Chains A and B, each alone.
Chain A
Amino acid sequence: MMNTIGKIFLLLMLTLSMVQAEPGAADTPAAGSEPSMLKFAGFGSLGVSHSSQPLGDYILDGTIPKGAGRSANWAMGNDTRLGAQVTASITPQVTAVLQIISEYQADNTYVPGVEWANVKYAYTQDAYIRVGRIALPTFLNSENRKVGYSYPWIHPPVDIYRQLAIANSDGIDAMYRFSVGEVDNSIKVVYGRNTLNRPTTTSSSQNMWGVFDTIEYGPAILHAGYQEREASSTSQLTGVTGPWVKNSDLSIGVSYDPGAWFAKYQWIQRKSTTKIGAMYLSAGVRIDDFTPYLTYSQNSPGSFLPGAVAPTAATIQTAMRSQSTVSAGVRWDLMRNVDLKVQYDRVRLGDNTNGYLANLPAGTILYGTTFHVISAVVDFVF
C-alpha cells in the first residue's frame, strides 16, 4: 500500500531511531521540550454520525465510499482516524518528517497511508525548502483538517472542505517568513502532483502549483491562497482516462481568536469547467472547559465557464450541486489532551439538486429538502 517514497522514509526513520533513540526521546506535543534528535507524536479521533435522510449518504468528501444515511444508520467513517508522526532532526538545518494516517478511504478500509514524507532544509529560521510529500495549505485549515483536537468543530465545515479532498503534494515547496513589528507574514510556494483514490475513479493532478500567504497579528490570522493544477479522472472499471482540465482554487480565510471567544470566516472560488463559490462563518465562546459554537456554511451551484466541453445531463447535475448547512455544537475539553464534541447539522439541499448526498438510488429527487445530522467525536493528541 505504501509507495516507494514512504518505504525509503520508514527505513531512514527506523535506522535513525536505532542509532539515536534514547529513553525520554519521545515527547508529547503538549508536554513540550527543546528539539531533540527524534520526536514522536500522534493524534486521533473516534467519531460517529447519524443522518435523518435514509435515501443518501452524508459523507465528508468524495473519497469516502459510504456513510450515515442510506448505507448505515450510524457510521464512523467521517470522523475516525489515527495519525502518527516522527520528526528527525538530522543536522540543525536538515529535518525529516514522516506522518502516517489511518482513516476510512475509498477502498472501504482503514489501511494506513503516508500522509507526508519530506526532508526540510532550513537556510535560516525564517526560510526553508522541503522535498517529498508535503501538506497543501490550500485553505485556512487545510493543513490541520485531520487533527480534530486542533479546532473547535467536529470537522472543518463540509461545504467548503469537501470541495478539495487533495491534502498533499509530491514535489517541493519553499517558505519565507518575515516580521514587521508584531505582524508576521509567511509566504509559501508549492509545486508537485497528487494521485487520489475515489470509490470508482482515480483523480490525478499534475503541474500543481500554488502561492499562499499567511499574516498573523496577535489573535488575528489572515490566509490567502491560489492553487492551480491540471486534473483528470480515470475510471477504475474501464481504465479510461478523461481529459486534463485546468482547476484553480482561490481562497481567503480569516480567524480571530483572543481566547474567550473566536470567529472565523472563509470564502473560496473554484474553477474547472464550472465556477463555484463556497463560504462559512463560524463563531463560538469559551466557558471554562466548554466551547459552544455556531456555523453557517454554503456552496453555490456552478456556472459553466466559456470554452468548456458541451455539458451533458450528468455534468449539469454535478454542476448544479449546492447545499447550505447550519451547525450548532459544543467542544468539551474533558481531560488533558482529550476533547469530546457533539454537533448538530441542519443541511438544506439546493433547489434543483440532491446536493452532495452520495449513493442515491437512481431517479431520487430530494431537491430543496432538509435533513439533519448528529455527530459525536472524541479527539486526542499524544
Chain B
Amino acid sequence: MKRLALCLLLSIFTASALADVVVIVSARSAVLHLTAAQATRIFLGKSMAFPDGAHAMPVDQAEGAAIRDEFYSKVVGKDHAQMTAYWAKVIFTGGDSYPPKLLEGNASVRRAVAGNLSAIGYIDRSMLDGSVRVVLDP
C-alpha cells in the first residue's frame, strides 16, 4: 500500500514536471514575447529570425528527453514521430534547413541561451534564473 502511494505520488510529480516547459531567450535579448506560431516557425526552420528581424538560432534538447517531447507536443503540435517525419521530408527533398542544434539538459540550454542573443531554447520552469527570459509559457 505504501509502495502504491509512493508510485502515485511519483506519477503526479512526474506529470506536473512534464507540464512545465517554458520557452526562453537571453535576459539581455530585446525579444519580450513570442506566440506559439512564431516559436514553431523558428524550431521548424521556416524562419531564422525573431519577429523584430534579429537572427534566431533554436536549441533543442536531447532526443528522448521528456521536456523535448513536451515542447513539441504543446508548442508545435507534433509528437516525436511526426517531427522525425517532418525532418525526413525536409532533408530528403533537398531542403535547405536542418534540425536545431542539440544540447544535453536544462542547465546547458539555459547557459547557451543566456550567453547568446540569437539563441532560443526551452527548459523546465524549475530551472529558470535571472540569466534568461520566458518569452512563451505554453
| Interface mask (B59-98 → A, CB under 8 Å = 1, otherwise 0) | 0100110000000010011111111111111011110101
A122 near B96: Cβ-Cβ < 8 Å: yes
B81 near A150: Cβ-Cβ < 8 Å: no
A147 near B38: Cβ-Cβ < 8 Å: no
A216 within 8 Å of B (CB atoms):
yes
18 A-B interface contacts by CB (under 8 A): A29-B84, A31-B102, A32-B63, A32-B101, A41-B92, A43-B92, A85-B92, A120-B94, A125-B48, A143-B93, A150-B88, A182-B38, A218-B37, A218-B40, A259-B78, A259-B82, A339-B81, A381-B84
B101 near A144: Cβ-Cβ < 8 Å: no
Min CB distance, A144 to chain B, in Å? 5
| Interface mask (A136-168 → B, CB under 8 Å = 1, otherwise 0) | 010000011011011100000000000000000
B46 within 8 Å of A (CB atoms):
yes
List, in ascending order, chain B residues with CB within 8 A of A34's CB: 98, 100-101
List, in ascending order, chain A residues with CB within 8 A of B102's CB: 31-33
How many B residues face the partner with a CB closer than 8 A? Answer: 35
If the complex has contacts A29-B88, A218-B37, A289-B81, are A179 and B98 also in contact, measured as CB distance less than 8 A? no
B96 near A29: Cβ-Cβ < 8 Å: no
List, in ascending order, chain A residues with CB within 8 A of B63's CB: 30-32, 336
A118 within 8 Å of B (CB atoms):
yes
Q: How large is the interface on A (under 10, 10 to 19, 20 to 34, 35 or more residues)?
A: 35 or more
A92 within 8 Å of B (CB atoms):
no
B77 near A135: Cβ-Cβ < 8 Å: no
B101 partner, pick from A33, A128, A218, beta carbons under 8 A:
A33
Q: Which of B46, B76, B86 has the most chain A CB atoms closer than 10 A to its own CB?
A: B46
B115 within 8 Å of A (CB atoms):
no
In the complex, A184→B48 CA distance in Å?
A: 12
In the complex, A339→B88 CA distance in Å?
A: 13
B47 within 8 Å of A (CB atoms):
yes
List, in ascending order, chain A residues with CB within 8 A of B41's CB: 182, 184
Shortest 6 CB-CB contacts between residues of A and residues of B: A32-B99, A259-B77, A333-B81, A143-B93, A150-B89, A34-B101
A182 near B88: Cβ-Cβ < 8 Å: no
A30 near B92: Cβ-Cβ < 8 Å: no
List, in ascending order, chain A residues with CB within 8 A of B86's CB: 150
A149 near B85: Cβ-Cβ < 8 Å: yes
Closest to B59 in A: A34
Min CB distance, B119 to chain A, in Å? 12
B85 partner, pick from A120, A128, A150, beta carbons under 8 A:
A150
Q: Which of A43, A134, A258, A381 has the most chain B CB atoms closer than 10 A to its own CB?
A: A381
A337 within 8 Å of B (CB atoms):
yes
A337 partner, pick from B38, B84, B89, B93, beta carbons under 8 A:
B84
Which residues of A, 26-47, contact B by the 8 Å Cβ criterion?
A: 29-35, 39, 41, 43
In the complex, A372→B96 CA distance in Å?
A: 40
List, in ascending order, chain B residues with CB within 8 A of A122's CB: 96
List, in ascending order, chain A residues with CB within 8 A of B87's CB: 29-30, 32
B92 near A134: Cβ-Cβ < 8 Å: no
Min CB distance, A212 to chain B, in Å? 12
List, in ascending order, chain A residues with CB within 8 A of B82's CB: 259, 286
A23 within 8 Å of B (CB atoms):
no
In the complex, A130→B88 CA distance in Å?
A: 20
List, in ascending order, chain A residues with CB within 8 A of B46's CB: 184, 216
